[in-house]
Each structure stands twice: as structure tokens, then as C-alpha cells.
Amino acid sequence: MRFLGTAGPGLTARARAMGKSWDIVEYAHEKGLGNAHTTLPADLDPVKIKKLRDQIEKYDMRLVVLVRTPRTDADLPKYEASVKACAEMGGRVECVHDPFSGRRYEQFKSAAEFHEFDAICKAAVRRAEPILRKYKMRLAIENHKGWRSDELVAWVKSTGSEYVGVALDLVNNVSLIETPQQTIDTLAPYTIFVSFKDIGVDFYSDGILLSEVGFGDGLLDLAGIVARFQKKDPKMLFQLEMLTRDPLKVPIFTEQYWKVYDDKSPVPPRDLAMLIAWIKNNPPKVPLPRTSGLSPEGVLALEDRLNQQSIDYARAYLPSLA
């Protein structure tokens, strides 16, 4: 499938099981996928980088490469070497990618802490931009449960750079009080690639349960999403990301959750009402996947089943990804 790939960071059970011997490019190729999300060798060994280039040329694949954006000036030489290596892979690296944050409501205890971190991240992108421009390599900043979509758009626009855009995770911002449609509508114009998944949601006593589910078992209009982004860019990459775990708990009904927002980063009450209504009106189609009580082999089997279900669904119902 030329435009469907897989994201290494999402394949948690397989990565743990296979360790350093696991090759995400080989895995994607074996599954008949056309792209993969990976990293460069930590030591930037030219022999290893050439091996990766030869591999993706042999398989006619494209890559998204995770490269940490330089947080300090001391990071600049390695960052430039990494971006240069990506740029020299025959045009097969779609972008470098950085998620920047963890979960805002867990990573920070206050809005002030978040704003301090926000300033560090924006400075990192300003530091990186001349290098991105020099090598004509795009940076995709992920909506990785750190910034609400309007905050991320403001950040991208503030760079004034054609080489800075968005890695769009379709569902992450549910944890930041947005419906998937709200997130997609806001971030679509800036999207470089799509972290492609389906979602099941429910409530628990302190908030929201959020789960990746196999394609077709969730709530998203996957065919409509593919059509929308292929209209924007016929060569848009969609990367299957399957996180095999218990449902993620997002404690929106607790006081601590709200301490990471303030007047500089408000959540409109309308957004909260819309999200709660959307969850109430869209109960899970199937039980949300759980890994508690499973052996490591059982978790791996579940992950493989959900991945294969998603790939099979894409082949059957999303033919434009082929």
C-alpha cells in the first residue's frame, strides 16, 4: 500500500518483544506498506545510513524520521548532521518529526510550568529553522497531547516558515478537550503527514477513556479523512499507529487536570460541552482493548491482530491508499 505505512513508536508490544533486532522498515515491507516511521542510527554512522537508504530504495518506500529538535546551541551540530543525512536519501524522507511533549495534564503541574516549556520548544524550532531551510527538509510538529490545535497553529504560523508544519494525530486532542473533527478541521491546512488510527471512547469516574482500536471498530470516518487529505496532497502519507495498552485515562473531572490551563491558554466551555456530547452520543462499538492480565505473548498477539485488522480494512475500504 503505497501511501499507508506504520509508525515504529506506536508498535509498543512488538518493539519490546524484538528489541534492537527489530527493523521497522522490514516489518512495513513484509506487510506490504509503502512507508515507515523510524530513527537514524544514534551514532550517525555513514555505513548504517547508507544501508538504510539502500533498503528504502530497494523497497521503493518513503520515511518519516524522528529527529529531536535542538534544545540548545550545543545540539546544533548533531541536528544538522541528522537533517543532512535525511536530505541525502534521494527524496525518500518526507519530513523530520518531533512530538515535543508528553501528556500536558501529566507532564506539568501548573499552567506556568507549561508556558515555560512552551517557550523552550518554540526556541528550539527557531534554532532549527535555518538548518531545515538549508536542506529543504520539513519539520512536522505533532499534536502530541501538549498543545491544543489552535495553540499549535499559532506556533506554526509564528515561524513564518514553509518548512514547519504539523504531524496530525487524529485523536490525541480528545485528551485536550477537542472532538476529532475539531482537531482535523483546525490542523488540516498545516498537515505534513497523518498519524492514522481509529478511536473508541467512554467515560470512567474521573474522566474519559481513550483507546486506539482496529480500523472499522471505531468512530472515525476513515474514508472521508483519506479523501480530504489526498485532495490536499495526493502523496500524503498515512501512518498506522496502534498503541496496544489499557484505555488511556484522561481525568478531565479532576481539579488537577485543569491547572495546566489559564487565561493565556483557555479551554472554551463550548468545547467541553461538545466533547462530552460527542462521547455520550458515540458509545464504543466494541469493548475497548485491554492488556491487563495478558502475558507479553498475549499483548503481542493482540497488537498483531489489531494491526492486521487495520491493514486488511484499508485494503478493502480505502483503495486510494494502495
Domain that holds residue 107: 4-321
The proportion of the chain whose per-residue pLDDT surpasses 70, expressed as a percent, equals 97
Per-residue model confidence (pLDDT) at position 240: 96
Residue 199 pLDDT exceeds 80? yes
Q: Model confidence over 261-287: pLDDT tens digits? A: 999 999 999 999 999 999 999 999 999
Per-residue model confidence (pLDDT) at position 7: 83
Question: What is the rounded distance in angstroms from the CA atom of residue 221 to the CA atom of residue 82?
Answer: 36
Mean of the per-residue pLDDT values for the chain?
A: 95
Residue 185 pLDDT exceeds 90? yes
Q: Model confidence over 202-254: pLDDT tens digits? A: 999 999 999 999 999 999 999 999 999 999 999 999 999 988 899 999 999 99
Question: What is the rounded distance in angstroms from the CA atom of residue 301 to the CA atom of residue 244?
Answer: 10
Taking the alpha carbons at both ends of the chain, their separation in whole angstroms is: 4
Per-residue model confidence (pLDDT) at position 20: 59
Number of domains making up the chain: 1
CATH number of the domain that 49 lies in? 3.20.20.150
Q: Model confidence over 132-169: pLDDT tens digits? A: 999 999 999 999 999 999 999 999 999 999 999 999 99
Per-residue model confidence (pLDDT) at position 17: 72
Per-residue model confidence (pLDDT) at position 147: 98
Per-residue model confidence (pLDDT) at position 19: 64
Per-residue model confidence (pLDDT) at position 308: 95
Under 8 Å CB-to-CB from 308, ≥6 apart: which residues? none
Under 8 Å CB-to-CB from 179, ≥6 apart: which residues? 274, 275, 278
Instruction: Report yes or no: 97 and 42 within 8 Å, Cβ to Cβ.
Output: no
Q: What is the mean pLDDT of residues 112-119?
A: 98
pTM of the model: 0.95
Per-residue model confidence (pLDDT) at position 130: 98
